[in-house]
A = this chain, B = another copy of it.
Amino acid sequence: MGEFDLITRYFQRPAKRSPLGVGDDCALLAPAPGMQLAVSCDMLVEGRHFLSTVDPARLGHKALAVNLSDLAACGAKPLAFTLALAMPGVDESWLEGFSRGLFALADEHGCELVGGDTTRGPLNICITVFGEVPAGAALLRSGAHAGDDIWVSGTLGDARLALEAFRGTLELPADVFAQARMRMEQPAPRVALGQALRGTASSAVDVSDGLVGDLGHILASSKVGATLDADAATGVIAAAASCGLGTEILRTCALSGGDDYELVFTAPPAARAAVEQAGKESATRVTRIGRIDAEAGLRIVDASGAPISQRFGSFDHFV
Protein backbone atom coordinates (compact mmCIF):
# COMPACT_ATOMS: atom_id res chain seq x y z
CA MET A 1 0.00 0.00 0.00
CA GLY A 2 1.37 3.43 -0.98
CA GLU A 3 1.35 6.65 0.98
CA PHE A 4 -1.79 8.09 -0.63
CA ASP A 5 -3.78 4.84 -0.43
CA LEU A 6 -2.85 4.63 3.23
CA ILE A 7 -4.10 8.16 3.87
CA THR A 8 -7.32 7.53 1.95
CA ARG A 9 -8.02 4.24 3.67
CA TYR A 10 -7.24 5.13 7.28
CA PHE A 11 -7.25 8.88 7.68
CA GLN A 12 -9.45 10.59 5.10
CA ARG A 13 -12.99 11.35 6.20
CA PRO A 14 -15.56 13.84 4.89
CA ALA A 15 -14.79 17.39 6.09
CA LYS A 16 -17.40 18.81 8.43
CA ARG A 17 -16.03 21.85 10.22
CA SER A 18 -13.06 22.84 8.07
CA PRO A 19 -13.81 24.66 4.78
CA LEU A 20 -11.43 22.16 3.15
CA GLY A 21 -10.71 18.59 4.24
CA VAL A 22 -7.61 16.39 4.08
CA GLY A 23 -5.88 16.39 0.69
CA ASP A 24 -4.76 19.86 -0.40
CA ASP A 25 -1.43 21.56 0.40
CA CYS A 26 -3.00 23.26 3.41
CA ALA A 27 -6.11 22.85 5.50
CA LEU A 28 -8.19 25.99 5.97
CA LEU A 29 -9.58 26.98 9.35
CA ALA A 30 -11.93 29.86 10.04
CA PRO A 31 -12.34 30.67 13.76
CA ALA A 32 -15.67 32.32 14.55
CA PRO A 33 -15.64 36.13 14.97
CA GLY A 34 -14.28 37.19 18.37
CA MET A 35 -12.56 33.85 18.90
CA GLN A 36 -8.84 33.21 19.15
CA LEU A 37 -7.30 29.99 17.95
CA ALA A 38 -5.44 27.98 20.62
CA VAL A 39 -2.67 25.80 19.15
CA SER A 40 -0.57 23.10 20.77
CA CYS A 41 1.62 20.28 19.56
CA ASP A 42 3.00 17.13 21.16
CA MET A 43 5.29 14.47 19.76
CA LEU A 44 5.16 10.86 20.98
CA VAL A 45 8.17 8.59 20.45
CA GLU A 46 8.16 4.82 20.88
CA GLY A 47 10.11 3.77 23.96
CA ARG A 48 9.90 7.28 25.47
CA HIS A 49 6.17 7.99 25.60
CA PHE A 50 4.75 4.54 25.04
CA LEU A 51 5.85 0.93 25.08
CA SER A 52 6.06 -0.98 21.81
CA THR A 53 3.57 -3.46 23.27
CA VAL A 54 0.78 -0.90 23.69
CA ASP A 55 -2.53 -1.60 21.97
CA PRO A 56 -2.58 0.64 18.84
CA ALA A 57 -6.16 1.81 19.51
CA ARG A 58 -5.11 2.98 22.97
CA LEU A 59 -2.09 4.70 21.45
CA GLY A 60 -4.30 6.50 18.93
CA HIS A 61 -6.44 7.66 21.83
CA LYS A 62 -3.47 8.78 23.92
CA ALA A 63 -1.71 10.64 21.08
CA LEU A 64 -4.74 12.90 20.68
CA ALA A 65 -5.59 12.97 24.42
CA VAL A 66 -2.27 14.54 25.45
CA ASN A 67 -2.89 17.32 22.92
CA LEU A 68 -6.52 17.86 23.92
CA SER A 69 -5.23 18.14 27.49
CA ASP A 70 -3.25 21.25 26.45
CA LEU A 71 -6.41 22.78 24.97
CA ALA A 72 -8.22 21.94 28.23
CA ALA A 73 -5.52 23.76 30.22
CA CYS A 74 -6.26 26.88 28.15
CA GLY A 75 -10.04 26.51 28.44
CA ALA A 76 -10.32 26.07 24.67
CA LYS A 77 -12.95 24.11 22.76
CA PRO A 78 -11.39 21.53 20.38
CA LEU A 79 -11.89 22.18 16.65
CA ALA A 80 -9.35 20.32 14.53
CA PHE A 81 -5.96 18.60 14.42
CA THR A 82 -3.17 17.62 12.06
CA LEU A 83 -1.32 14.31 12.32
CA ALA A 84 2.26 13.63 11.21
CA LEU A 85 3.20 9.99 11.41
CA ALA A 86 6.55 8.29 10.84
CA MET A 87 6.33 4.50 10.70
CA PRO A 88 8.90 1.81 9.92
CA GLY A 89 6.51 0.34 7.34
CA VAL A 90 2.85 -0.17 6.53
CA ASP A 91 1.23 -2.41 9.15
CA GLU A 92 -2.46 -2.47 8.25
CA SER A 93 -3.64 -4.01 11.49
CA TRP A 94 -1.71 -1.36 13.48
CA LEU A 95 -3.10 1.43 11.29
CA GLU A 96 -6.64 0.12 11.67
CA GLY A 97 -6.37 0.08 15.47
CA PHE A 98 -4.51 3.36 15.74
CA SER A 99 -6.94 5.27 13.52
CA ARG A 100 -9.94 3.68 15.31
CA GLY A 101 -8.72 4.83 18.74
CA LEU A 102 -7.75 8.24 17.39
CA PHE A 103 -11.07 8.96 15.71
CA ALA A 104 -13.14 7.61 18.62
CA LEU A 105 -11.67 10.29 20.89
CA ALA A 106 -11.73 12.92 18.12
CA ASP A 107 -15.43 12.31 17.54
CA GLU A 108 -16.15 12.46 21.27
CA HIS A 109 -14.73 15.99 21.28
CA GLY A 110 -15.92 17.15 17.83
CA CYS A 111 -12.30 17.52 16.75
CA GLU A 112 -11.68 17.00 13.02
CA LEU A 113 -8.51 15.70 11.31
CA VAL A 114 -7.71 18.36 8.68
CA GLY A 115 -4.26 17.46 7.40
CA GLY A 116 -0.93 15.86 8.06
CA ASP A 117 2.00 13.95 6.73
CA THR A 118 3.11 10.32 6.59
CA THR A 119 6.64 9.11 6.12
CA ARG A 120 8.82 6.10 6.74
CA GLY A 121 10.99 6.28 9.87
CA PRO A 122 11.21 5.19 13.51
CA LEU A 123 7.67 5.28 14.97
CA ASN A 124 6.85 8.88 15.85
CA ILE A 125 3.45 10.51 16.21
CA CYS A 126 3.20 14.30 16.12
CA ILE A 127 -0.20 15.92 16.54
CA THR A 128 -0.95 19.63 16.40
CA VAL A 129 -4.34 20.52 17.79
CA PHE A 130 -6.51 23.60 17.31
CA GLY A 131 -9.20 24.91 19.60
CA GLU A 132 -11.11 28.12 19.96
CA VAL A 133 -11.49 30.37 22.94
CA PRO A 134 -13.13 33.82 23.25
CA ALA A 135 -10.48 36.52 22.77
CA GLY A 136 -8.86 37.30 26.13
CA ALA A 137 -10.56 34.40 27.97
CA ALA A 138 -7.85 31.72 27.70
CA LEU A 139 -6.61 30.24 30.99
CA LEU A 140 -2.91 31.10 31.26
CA ARG A 141 -0.09 29.99 33.53
CA SER A 142 0.59 33.58 34.53
CA GLY A 143 -2.61 34.54 36.41
CA ALA A 144 -2.13 33.03 39.91
CA HIS A 145 -2.21 35.42 42.89
CA ALA A 146 -1.11 35.05 46.52
CA GLY A 147 -4.03 33.69 48.54
CA ASP A 148 -5.50 31.65 45.63
CA ASP A 149 -6.38 28.03 46.28
CA ILE A 150 -4.58 25.34 44.27
CA TRP A 151 -6.85 22.65 42.82
CA VAL A 152 -6.32 19.48 40.86
CA SER A 153 -8.78 17.57 38.70
CA GLY A 154 -9.43 13.84 38.77
CA THR A 155 -6.72 11.55 40.09
CA LEU A 156 -2.91 11.69 40.15
CA GLY A 157 -0.14 9.12 40.21
CA ASP A 158 -1.90 6.16 38.66
CA ALA A 159 -0.03 6.30 35.35
CA ARG A 160 3.27 6.23 37.23
CA LEU A 161 2.13 3.30 39.36
CA ALA A 162 1.34 1.38 36.20
CA LEU A 163 4.72 2.28 34.68
CA GLU A 164 6.54 1.11 37.83
CA ALA A 165 4.55 -2.14 37.77
CA PHE A 166 5.58 -2.64 34.12
CA ARG A 167 9.18 -1.93 35.13
CA GLY A 168 8.87 -4.48 37.96
CA THR A 169 9.82 -2.04 40.73
CA LEU A 170 6.54 -2.68 42.54
CA GLU A 171 3.65 -5.13 42.45
CA LEU A 172 -0.01 -4.25 42.20
CA PRO A 173 -3.09 -6.46 42.63
CA ALA A 174 -4.45 -7.37 39.18
CA ASP A 175 -7.52 -5.13 39.41
CA VAL A 176 -5.50 -2.16 40.67
CA PHE A 177 -2.95 -2.68 37.90
CA ALA A 178 -5.70 -2.85 35.27
CA GLN A 179 -7.19 0.42 36.53
CA ALA A 180 -3.80 2.16 36.69
CA ARG A 181 -2.86 0.87 33.24
CA MET A 182 -6.04 2.34 31.77
CA ARG A 183 -5.12 5.70 33.29
CA MET A 184 -1.66 5.44 31.69
CA GLU A 185 -2.82 4.24 28.29
CA GLN A 186 -6.14 6.04 27.93
CA PRO A 187 -6.04 9.33 29.84
CA ALA A 188 -9.24 11.40 29.73
CA PRO A 189 -8.39 15.00 28.76
CA ARG A 190 -10.30 17.44 31.00
CA VAL A 191 -11.73 19.38 28.09
CA ALA A 192 -15.17 20.11 29.59
CA LEU A 193 -13.69 21.16 32.94
CA GLY A 194 -11.21 23.52 31.25
CA GLN A 195 -14.01 25.33 29.44
CA ALA A 196 -16.18 25.40 32.60
CA LEU A 197 -13.30 27.06 34.51
CA ARG A 198 -13.08 30.06 32.13
CA GLY A 199 -13.81 33.18 34.17
CA THR A 200 -13.32 31.26 37.43
CA ALA A 201 -9.77 29.86 37.49
CA SER A 202 -6.96 32.43 37.71
CA SER A 203 -4.38 30.10 36.09
CA ALA A 204 -4.11 26.54 34.83
CA VAL A 205 -1.64 24.03 33.43
CA ASP A 206 -1.99 20.37 32.57
CA VAL A 207 -0.01 17.78 34.49
CA SER A 208 2.20 15.88 32.06
CA ASP A 209 5.65 15.97 33.70
CA GLY A 210 4.38 15.63 37.29
CA LEU A 211 2.40 17.85 39.66
CA VAL A 212 5.39 19.55 41.32
CA GLY A 213 7.10 20.36 38.03
CA ASP A 214 3.99 21.57 36.24
CA LEU A 215 2.77 23.60 39.22
CA GLY A 216 6.26 25.12 39.07
CA HIS A 217 5.39 26.55 35.62
CA ILE A 218 2.45 28.42 37.17
CA LEU A 219 4.66 29.70 40.01
CA ALA A 220 7.38 30.88 37.61
CA SER A 221 4.96 32.51 35.13
CA SER A 222 2.89 34.12 37.90
CA LYS A 223 5.97 35.10 40.00
CA VAL A 224 4.52 33.58 43.18
CA GLY A 225 5.25 30.67 45.53
CA ALA A 226 3.01 27.96 46.99
CA THR A 227 2.34 25.60 49.86
CA LEU A 228 1.25 22.16 48.66
CA ASP A 229 -0.51 19.60 50.88
CA ALA A 230 1.15 16.30 49.91
CA ASP A 231 -1.47 14.24 51.74
CA ALA A 232 -4.33 15.94 49.90
CA ALA A 233 -2.52 15.36 46.58
CA THR A 234 -1.69 11.76 47.46
CA GLY A 235 -5.31 11.25 48.50
CA VAL A 236 -6.41 11.51 44.88
CA ILE A 237 -4.48 8.46 43.67
CA ALA A 238 -7.32 6.31 42.41
CA ALA A 239 -5.85 2.87 41.87
CA ALA A 240 -3.60 2.67 44.90
CA ALA A 241 -6.03 3.70 47.64
CA SER A 242 -6.03 0.24 49.14
CA CYS A 243 -3.06 -1.68 47.80
CA GLY A 244 -0.73 -1.36 50.79
CA LEU A 245 2.06 0.69 49.22
CA GLY A 246 4.14 2.97 51.47
CA THR A 247 3.58 6.71 51.87
CA GLU A 248 6.85 7.60 50.18
CA ILE A 249 6.17 5.76 46.93
CA LEU A 250 2.59 7.03 46.82
CA ARG A 251 3.79 10.60 47.29
CA THR A 252 6.35 10.15 44.55
CA CYS A 253 3.66 8.90 42.17
CA ALA A 254 1.19 11.68 43.01
CA LEU A 255 3.63 14.59 43.20
CA SER A 256 6.13 13.74 40.50
CA GLY A 257 4.67 10.77 38.66
CA GLY A 258 3.85 12.45 35.37
CA ASP A 259 1.65 11.33 32.48
CA ASP A 260 -1.47 12.31 34.48
CA TYR A 261 -3.11 14.74 32.02
CA GLU A 262 -5.08 16.31 34.84
CA LEU A 263 -5.47 20.05 35.28
CA VAL A 264 -3.79 21.86 38.17
CA PHE A 265 -5.31 25.29 38.50
CA THR A 266 -5.74 28.20 40.90
CA ALA A 267 -8.76 30.24 41.91
CA PRO A 268 -9.48 32.75 44.67
CA PRO A 269 -11.13 31.30 47.83
CA ALA A 270 -14.26 33.34 46.98
CA ALA A 271 -14.63 31.16 43.88
CA ARG A 272 -14.73 27.80 45.72
CA ALA A 273 -18.42 27.26 45.02
CA ALA A 274 -17.89 28.19 41.36
CA VAL A 275 -15.02 25.68 41.07
CA GLU A 276 -17.16 22.94 42.66
CA GLN A 277 -19.93 23.84 40.23
CA ALA A 278 -17.53 23.64 37.24
CA GLY A 279 -16.49 20.19 38.46
CA LYS A 280 -20.13 19.12 38.78
CA GLU A 281 -21.08 20.43 35.32
CA SER A 282 -18.19 18.57 33.74
CA ALA A 283 -18.61 15.45 35.91
CA THR A 284 -14.99 15.82 37.01
CA ARG A 285 -13.71 15.50 40.56
CA VAL A 286 -11.89 18.62 41.80
CA THR A 287 -9.73 18.62 44.95
CA ARG A 288 -8.13 21.49 46.82
CA ILE A 289 -4.45 20.69 47.45
CA GLY A 290 -2.78 23.93 48.54
CA ARG A 291 -2.55 27.67 48.30
CA ILE A 292 -0.52 30.28 46.43
CA ASP A 293 1.90 32.35 48.58
CA ALA A 294 3.51 35.71 47.92
CA GLU A 295 6.81 34.19 49.08
CA ALA A 296 8.72 32.51 46.25
CA GLY A 297 9.41 28.77 46.31
CA LEU A 298 7.32 25.65 46.77
CA ARG A 299 6.77 24.35 50.33
CA ILE A 300 5.48 20.80 50.53
CA VAL A 301 3.74 19.90 53.79
CA ASP A 302 1.70 17.02 55.22
CA ALA A 303 -1.94 17.21 56.33
CA SER A 304 -0.87 18.72 59.68
CA GLY A 305 1.07 21.49 57.93
CA ALA A 306 4.51 20.04 58.85
CA PRO A 307 7.22 20.27 56.13
CA ILE A 308 8.13 17.09 54.27
CA SER A 309 11.80 16.30 53.71
CA GLN A 310 11.21 14.03 50.70
CA ARG A 311 12.41 15.59 47.41
CA PHE A 312 10.28 15.51 44.26
CA GLY A 313 11.65 15.84 40.75
CA SER A 314 9.97 16.60 37.47
CA PHE A 315 10.25 14.61 34.28
CA ASP A 316 12.76 16.04 31.82
CA HIS A 317 13.59 14.35 28.51
CA PHE A 318 17.17 15.60 28.56
CA VAL A 319 18.31 15.36 32.21
Which positions in A face B, CB cutoff 8 Å? 1-4, 6, 19-20, 23-31, 33, 36-43, 45-49, 70-71, 73-74, 76, 80, 82, 84-86, 89-90, 114-122, 124, 126, 128, 130-131, 133, 135, 138, 140-142, 204-206, 221, 316-319
Whether the Cβ atoms of A3 and B318 lie closer than 8 Å is yes
A183→B26 CA distance, assembly (Å): 23
Interface pair B28/A138, CB less than 8 Å apart:
yes
Contact between A43 and B84, CB atoms less than 8 A apart = yes
Q: Are B26 and A120 in contact (CB under 8 A)?
A: no
Besides A26-B40, A33-B33, 11 more A-B contacts (Cβ < 8 Å) are A3-B316, A25-B70, A25-B141, A26-B38, A26-B71, A29-B37, A30-B36, A41-B115, A41-B117, A90-B318, A119-B317
Considering the complex, give the chain B residue whose CB is closest to the CB of A37: B29
A206 touches B133 (CB 8 A): no
Q: How far apart sit A118 and B111, CA to CA, in the bound complex (Å)?
A: 24
Say yes or no: A221-B23 contact (C-beta < 8 A), given A37-B29, A37-B37, A42-B84. Answer: yes
By a CB distance below 8 angstroms, the chain B residues around A133 are: 28
A82 to chain B, nearest CB (A): 5
CA of A119 to CA of B48, assembled, Å: 8
**Which residue of chain B has its CB nearest to the CB of A73?**
B25
Partner of A122, one of B76, B122, B318: B122
Report the bound CA distance from A114 to B36 in whole Å. Answer: 14
Given contacts A86-B43, A138-B20, contact A319 B28 (CB under 8 A): no
A40, B25: Cβ atoms under 8 Å? yes
Residue of B whose beta carbon sits closest to that of A315:
B3
What separation, in Å, do the CA atoms of A116 and B19 have in the docked complex? 25
For A140, the chain B residues whose CB sits under 8 A away are 20, 24
A128 touching B131 by the CB < 8 A rule? no
Q: Are B115 and A49 in contact (CB under 8 A)?
A: no
How many monomers of this protein are in the complex?
2
- Asked if A86 contacts B45 (CB within 8 A), the reply is yes
Minimum CB–CB distance from A81 to chain B (whole Å) comes to: 10
The 30 listed contacts between A and B (C-beta, < 8 Å) are A2-B316, A3-B316, A3-B317, A3-B318, A3-B319, A4-B316, A20-B138, A23-B141, A24-B74, A24-B140, A24-B221, A25-B141, A26-B39, A26-B40, A26-B70, A27-B40, A28-B36, A29-B37, A30-B135, A39-B130, A41-B116, A45-B120, A47-B121, A48-B121, A84-B126, A89-B318, A117-B126, A118-B317, A120-B318, A124-B124
Bound: A204/B73 CA distance, A = 38
Identify the closest chain B residue to A122 (Cβ).
B122
A26 touches B82 (CB 8 A): no
Chain B residues, CB < 8 A from A1: 318
| Partner pick for A39 among B6, B42, B115, CB 8 A cutoff | B115
Question: A135 CA to B38 CA in the complex, in Å?
Answer: 20
What are the residues of chain B within 8 A of A204 when measuring CB–CB? 25
Complex formed: what's the CA distance from A319 to B148 in Å? 57
Select one of B47, B74, B121 contacting A26, CB under 8 A: B74
Cβ-neighbour of A82 out of B4, B116, B128 (below 8 A): B128
